A and B are shown apart, each in its own frame.
Chain A
Amino acid sequence: MLQLKNIYKWFNTGSNRTFILKDINLDIKQGEFVSIMGPSGSGKSTLLNVMGMLDEPNEGKYIFLDQDVLHMKEKQRSEIYKSHIGFVFQAYHLIDELTVYENIETPLIYQNIKSGERKGMVADMLDRFQIVGKKDLFPNQLSGGQQQLVGIARALIVKPKLILADEPTGNLNSKQGEEIMNIFKELNGEGVTIIQVTHSEKNAEYGSRIIHLLDGRIEKES
């Protein structure tokens, strides 16, 4: 599904060059469930953002679905993540001014899907995560766990092949976290590739593969 080859990322601070990612090589196959772990500041989010094409490396090669994405125009790239990637954030990042229903619906609008069709798709999602009763509430009227469910529903509605989740359970208690992990597991069973960043050993165990980062390097894989 995606390959990273000799990826470097650095920042220039004064005359010093601080490396955040150093020589990352990764090959992730369709259907894998990958967990990225590592201490704070080790570059996990940066790596995830590079994979999600929200950030660019300074050096290296990135192949996504057999396409060299680093040489693409911004527009083409956003076309790819629009249709293939769903993002889930630690801070949920729901749009405060939109209801649950509308938040889930938004990606479909950007994909120019007809309103009748949209209704059905959103209804399916609300059903699946059992939040039909909350569909007219605004994000600030929901608990953190419920907000994250909406965030996942929103990521899933475009039927992505890949889900990128940066500490999806970071703001949740362990019971809520477990629930989210089970949903991921279930999705993975349906064939969706999942890459998550996590601090929790327990959550990492849900994955089929764990990558440990240290100071921007892949320290080990298990």
Chain B
Amino acid sequence: MIKNYFKTAWRYIKKHKAYSLINILGLALGIASCLIIFLVVQYELGYDQFYKKSDRTYRVTLNQLDFNPSVSMGVVPALRTDFPELEDVSQVWYRKSALLEIHNEKYEEKGMMYADKYFPEIFDQHWLEGNPKTALTDPNSIVLTESIAHKYFGNKEAMGQFIKLENKYNLKITGVIKNVLGNTHLPFNMIVSFATVENDVKGMMSNFYAIADGSFAYIVTPKNYHISQMQSLMHGFIEKNWGKDIAKDAKLPLQPLTDIHFDQRYLNNTISYTTSRETYYALIAIAVLIIIIACINFINLATAQAIRRAKEVGVRKVLGSTRSQLIKQFLGETTFMVLIAMILGLLVTAFFLPLLSTWLSLKISIAQLLQSSVILVTVLVAISIIILAGLYPAFVQSAFRPIESLKSKPSLTFSGLTLRKSLVVIQFAICQVMIIGTLVVAYQIDFFENRDLGFDKEAVISFKIPDKSKTEVLRNELQNNPGVKQVSFSSGAPVISNNFTSFTSPESGIKKEDVTELKFIDEDYTKMFALKMLAGESVQRTETSDNDSVHNVVVNETMIHKLGIQDPQKAIGKYILLNGSWNATITGVVKDFQSESKHKKIRPCVLLYNKNAFFMVSARLQTSNMNQTIARIDKAWSSLFPQNVFSYEFLDDHIAAWYSQEQKEYTAFKLFALIAIIIGSMGLYGLITFAAAQRGKEVGIRKVLGASLADIVFLFSKEFVILIAIAFLIAAPLAYYIMYNWLQSFAYQINIGANIFVIAILSSFIIAAFTIGYQAIKAGIVNPINSLRSE
């Protein structure tokens, strides 16, 4: 019996090619979207979960005014002494990049970190060579990932070879591990034994607030340990080791390893981004919606065509088929189509996965399609489609009474028109929600990267200056470079390298220490970045040094608001106390500018002149021949600092990197909105084709009676115009509600303007016009004789 069903199914598919193609392609696209979303969600929600002890691993972080993932290096030894019951405690110092020297060649390489010998106990890796228990014990040891080992040593044995780090440490390779999986908050390429730098950082170990960026502390609790109990002991722990005063303000939250990726209070975009679980729940919802759109196509086309199959139903019933047998047959056909779609969907996924992995910057390989969980999901999706799409049409079609359907001119009444219209409305509504969502994300990203930054970021590169004694030589060199428009030396461009310090202002009533950003800038800085002076002057070149206790400073608007001053002019001449000991006189007020990502509110900022702290160079380039200019800078820079490797960054790129997560969401939204629209349009095309065929005679008669082509096109379109309008009434408030909530997760956000909704409804009309237009015009221009003669 099954064979008989499949045979009919296959022949039916072959006979009604367009109909089957729409259904199968739609379902295949839907299944592929589901699979890809599943892989993405599995990847993102699985962050750090592959470590064997992940459920018992915590990162010790700092909460003082702000949340900081890094803590003093003194925390780890103190934890070891005070909590001997902990299974593991490990010290990590993550450096973004490192200067390597291999075979007398210098390279800058990303993802280097220092870690102690306990690290491999917590973060288990696949060791290809070396012993995880001893590889990081001795000073001057380095462990490489496979790809780094291969990059620098080719097929030669890397073990036992030497690498020079930061022109300082001579490291021996003591281990090679498999590449670290992509979905970890700590994506490293090299581990240098912490013992190598231990002596150099001794000074920092004793000070609670001397925090090196990327200095992390990890602990593993014993099984069945109550972390909340340990958390409650942290206050006493701080007090015992660092004193009452510090314990009053500072907390050391124990952050579960598997939450790190999702805890957006800690914004450490520099190592790995944080995101929200909600984003991935939203993606799952999108997958479900896409499947619903594909299923709606199936239901609509099946019920629209039901009458065509009524005769077969009648004959089979007369030949002895029961209704349940017919339902089984129709479900069998659906199953058959879904199976084809499933195979096609898997192929599409496998084909596009590498491309998508790059777009969405995921490390997902095709091999992951063969996981049992993927297969399970595929089967579950297929079964839900069969039920969702197949059941209703099967019931409708099997209900025909043979007496009706076997008449030589059947006058069947079932058309399911209301149902079909409602389903089309749902499809349009889903598509419009997706269009609006995509537009809101696009506008928000544009706003992030380009609007209201408060400074000019165009064509500015930023790079280090390793030796400050050569500042003036480098400045001359750059000023003589015709490709360089402006140069400024500072502790960092507005968005680069943020330093913070404490401030008080007894005269304005701020007695308790508060936090301000601190930037050391030269006299050209405000001009070069086009910061807007609201009052007073920018900084002057002086010979002051760190040791001086009197400074003239420029502050931002947020700072004067903090001081309780609204009029910038009135702020001039006010005093603030910086870092506990520097007396600063405000001599200028600058309009707020963006120095951190727009996820955060702008904070107070103090700008002052201190040439000893000029670590970074910012240069605005002429937009023509940029590559040549940069090559010339590289040459000059490299001859001045032969010990170092030149590396630079465009401010544009730096800013964009803050929003890489939103970019990814945007890419995903765009992609899946497009898929939803494609599937929906295919269904619409199928329906209109069917309607055109069914109403061929009506069109013929109307034309004979004098209807023009426009009249006929209008006849077919007016219904869809109404449906789109109804869909819009549903979609607009829904999308507004969803996207309004999404925007609330940012400190600064756009207003959802009317233009977004106008674009959404117009694009729906345009898409529908393209889909319907062809068939409507075809029906309109056909010679009426043809359609009338056939009757």
- The answer to whether A and B belong to the same complex is yes
Q: Which residues of A contact B (CB under 8 A)?
A: 49, 52, 54-55, 75, 78, 81-83, 87, 89-91, 93-98, 102, 105-107, 109-111, 154, 158
The minimal Cβ–Cβ distance linking A71 to chain B, given in whole angstroms, is 19
Q: Contact: A49 with B4, CB < 8 Å? A: no
Number of A-B contacts (CB under 8 A): 62
B316 at the interface (CB under 8 A from A): yes
B3, closest chain A residue (CB): A115
24 A–B pairs (Cβ distance < 8 Å), ordered by A: A49-B403, A52-B318, A54-B318, A54-B401, A54-B402, A78-B320, A81-B318, A83-B320, A87-B318, A89-B406, A91-B408, A93-B315, A93-B318, A93-B406, A95-B8, A96-B15, A97-B12, A97-B15, A97-B312, A106-B316, A106-B319, A110-B321, A111-B320, A158-B320
What residues of B have a CB within 8 angstroms of the CB of A97 in the complex? 7-8, 11-12, 15, 312
A155, closest chain B residue (CB): B319
A89 CA to B407 CA, complexed, in Å: 10
Q: Which of B313-339 contact A (CB under 8 A)?
A: 314-322, 325
Q: Contact: B403 with A93, CB < 8 Å? A: no
The minimal Cβ–Cβ distance linking A79 to chain B, given in whole angstroms, is 9
Q: Contact: A93 with B317, CB < 8 Å? A: no
The minimal Cβ–Cβ distance linking A55 to chain B, given in whole angstroms, is 5
B311 at the interface (CB under 8 A from A): yes
**Given A49-B403, A55-B403, A95-B8; A110-B320 close (CB under 8 Å):** yes
Q: Which of B199-229 contact A (CB under 8 A)?
A: none
A83 CA to B320 CA, complexed, in Å: 8
**Given A78-B317, A78-B320, A110-B325; A93-B8 close (CB under 8 Å):** no
B631 at the interface (CB under 8 A from A): no
A130 CA to B57 CA, complexed, in Å: 81
B323, closest chain A residue (CB): A74
Q: Which residues of B contact A (CB under 8 A)?
A: 1, 4, 7-8, 11-12, 15, 311-312, 314-322, 325, 401-403, 406, 408
A89 CA to B410 CA, complexed, in Å: 14
Listed residue (B7, B311, B321, B408) with the most chain A CB atoms within 10 angstroms of its CB: B408
A109 CA to B408 CA, complexed, in Å: 26
A158, closest chain B residue (CB): B320
B312, closest chain A residue (CB): A95
A158 CA to B320 CA, complexed, in Å: 10
A116 CA to B401 CA, complexed, in Å: 32
What residues of B have a CB within 8 angstroms of the CB of A111 in the complex? 320
What residues of A have a CB within 8 angstroms of the CB of B320 in the complex? 78, 81-83, 107, 110-111, 158
Q: Contact: A90 with B11, CB < 8 Å? A: no
What residues of B have a CB within 8 angstroms of the CB of A90 in the complex? 408
A167 CA to B11 CA, complexed, in Å: 30
**Given A81-B320, A82-B320; A95-B1 close (CB under 8 Å):** no
What residues of B have a CB within 8 angstroms of the CB of A81 in the complex? 318, 320
Which 10 interchain pairs have the tightest Cβ spacing? Answer: A82-B320, A110-B320, A97-B11, A107-B319, A54-B403, A93-B315, A97-B8, A55-B403, A87-B318, A110-B321
B409, closest chain A residue (CB): A91
A82 CA to B316 CA, complexed, in Å: 11
Listed residue (A55, A90, A91, A93) with the most chain B CB atoms within 10 angstroms of its CB: A93
Listed residue (B15, B315, B401) with the most chain A CB atoms within 10 angstroms of its CB: B315
Q: Contact: B322 with A109, CB < 8 Å? A: no
What residues of B have a CB within 8 angstroms of the CB of A75 in the complex? 322
What residues of A have a CB within 8 angstroms of the CB of B319 in the complex? 82, 106-107, 110, 154
What residues of B have a CB within 8 angstroms of the CB of A96 in the complex? 15, 312
Excluding A78-B320, A93-B315, 6 further A-B contacts by CB distance (< 8 Å) are A78-B322, A93-B314, A109-B1, A109-B4, A110-B320, A110-B325
What residues of B have a CB within 8 angstroms of the CB of A154 in the complex? 319
Q: Contact: B406 with A106, CB < 8 Å? A: no
What residues of B have a CB within 8 angstroms of the CB of A95 in the complex? 8, 312, 315-316
A216 CA to B318 CA, complexed, in Å: 24
**Given A54-B318, A54-B402, A91-B408; A102-B7 close (CB under 8 Å):** yes
The minimal Cβ–Cβ distance linking A143 to chain B, given in whole angstroms, is 19
What residues of A have a CB within 8 angstroms of the CB of B7 in the complex? 97-98, 102
B9, closest chain A residue (CB): A97
What residues of B have a CB within 8 angstroms of the CB of A82 in the complex? 319-320
What residues of B have a CB within 8 angstroms of the CB of A158 in the complex? 320
